[in-house]
Amino acid sequence: MGKRRQVESAMCIFELNIGKVIRLPESVRAKVMMLYSRKENKREFRVLERSLPCDVKRQIVSWLEKNTVPDDILWELKSNRMNADMF
């Protein structure tokens, strides 16, 4: 089995299921884009789902910024999907 390496830069789009961790009455599914550069110490999330209200998008981005590490997202995604309620 190979060793995990550090990711230097990345752009990925993944599907996120999220609900109870941001106190929504039911889970929502959203496509999220993550831009990352270790050199520039920059990480940015964008919720691409247009049907979600702006306040829900802000909650999702805030949760991702506080609770995720870029290497974990990039290495642990299964079929480009992530379930925040089971993270």
Per-residue pLDDT tens for 26-51?
999 999 999 999 899 999 999 999 99
What residues does 44 pair with on adjacent strands?
35
The answer to whether the CB of 18 falls within 8 A of the CB of 63 is yes
Contacts with 51 (C-beta within 8 Å, 6 or more apart), sequence order: none
Identify the weakest region by mean pLDDT among 13-17, 26-30, 73-77. Answer: 73-77
Strands 28-37 and 81-83, by their bridges, are unpaired
